[in-house]
Amino acid sequence: MKLEVCNVSKWFGAHRALDRISFSLEGAPLVALLGPSGSGKTTLLRVLAGLDVPDEGTIHFDGVNIRTIHVRRRGIGFVFQHYALFRHMTVYENVAFGLEVKPRHQRPPPEEIRRRVEALLRLVHLDWLADRRPDELSGGQRQRAALARALAVEPRILMLDEPFGALDAAVRKELRRELRRLHEAAGITSLFVTHDVEEAFEIADLVILLHDGHIVQIGPPQTLWTRPVSPFVFRFLGDYSLIPARDANGLWIAGDPLPEQRRAEGWRLAHVRPWELEPAIPGTPGAVEGIIESVQEIGARLRLRLCLPHSRIRLNAEWRPTQHVGRALVPGSRCPVRPARLWVFDGDDPSPAQEAVRSPLEQSPATPG
């Protein structure tokens, strides 16, 4: 299956929900449409599914413009956030429904329908609940039933709109693994909408990150994590702090300059992740001396909140117990830290910018984007 999206835009009144979206997918990847609320991810999914019509641009399935194909014949399985199961039908009847309402010349024989439905119910571990109605199932079981119903018609593409959004944390984790397993068993392209970074990174082969109707970055999860193209990408993917840094012969060095130094010497604010701030010996090159504002024990880790005296910038640090042996970590005490890595970008807009550069602690030169 090849999906090609070219310059797709969608307006709702004066609001441009999608702005010239373009990308292509080939094979059978599991793709996460990731982004904050209002980024356009659900609108994009609905446009691809034919539930909304784009105002501009084209979408091709295997080289065929989908506008020339009736929605029923596009081969799309859609799973809504709130399942949309028929409450008066059993689980078996819900899964069989899409097959039984096909036109007569496309409808499988009754024996084939029964075989396919029973196989899908075994696949989603609901064969023992085939005679139950949706209101007799848990949230996770209803979501499994919705997945089986979408797969029953043997779609070319499976689309899921925040499939785990209405479930509690433990069930979400379980169904993530199930979605990955079902995707591999079906062998089809699957796209799912989520605002949960951990969810996207855990199960997706490819992440499409959206912001304000634009695609900000596309790539495997590890690529987005290690090579974010902009401050927005870096900030959206997890906790971070901003720390003063300056360029010294091609290497970025952290510090805590006085206000007049910052203006005169070209200091900038670099990004750093909490676990990339390490305990340091006073005077170590690239180290800054923060003042501890708070210390929290979270499981096997310590979370520190530090402030830099000259700028009142706050830093978040997260350490393992072995990293602070022999240190008195109490509010008000001084605590030297150094960034194991600094991330510096050319701008704050969501367009591609200079890639992250390494700090001098890595002993290798920065690589410009």
Residue in this structure with the two tokens 């840094």, named with its chain if needed: 245
* CA atoms of 12 and 90, how far apart (whole Å): 38
* CA atoms of 352 and 231, how far apart (whole Å): 9
Tokens matching residue 332: 């008000």
Cα 307 → chain centroid: 31
What pLDDT score does 311 carry? 79
User: 182 near 147, Cβ under 8 Å?
Assistant: yes
User: What three-state secondary structure class fits 255?
Assistant: coil
What pLDDT score does 366 carry? 31
Domain 2-227 fold is Rossmann fold (3.40.50)
CATH 2.40.50.100 spans which residues of the chain? 235-362
Q: What pairs with residue 317 in β-bridges? A: 304
CATH 3.40.50.300 spans which residues of the chain? 2-227
User: 242 near 269, Cβ under 8 Å?
Assistant: yes
Strand order in the sheet with 214-219: 76-79, 157-161, 189-194, 30-34, 206-211, 214-219
Query: What CATH number should be reported for the domain whose range is 235-362?
Result: 2.40.50.100
> In this structure, how many other beta carbons lie within 10 angstroms of the beta carbon of residue 208?
24
What pLDDT score does 326 carry? 60
Torsion of CA 249, 252, 257, 261, to 10 degrees: 40
Q: Which alpha helices (H) appear in 101-238, and where do they start and end?
A: 110-123, 139-152, 169-186, 197-203, 221-226, 231-236
Q: Count Cβ atoms within 10 A of the Cβ of residue 62 and give its class: 0-12 exposed, 13-18 middle, 19 or more buried.
A: exposed
What pLDDT score does 122 carry? 93
Q: Count Cβ atoms within 10 A of the Cβ of residue 212 and give its class: 0-12 exposed, 13-18 middle, 19 or more buried.
A: middle
Q: Compute mean pLDDT per 10 residues along the chain, 369 residues long, and list them.
A: 95 96 95 96 94 95 89 86 87 94 89 94 93 93 91 92 82 87 91 94 96 97 95 95 87 85 82 93 88 90 90 89 72 92 69 31 29
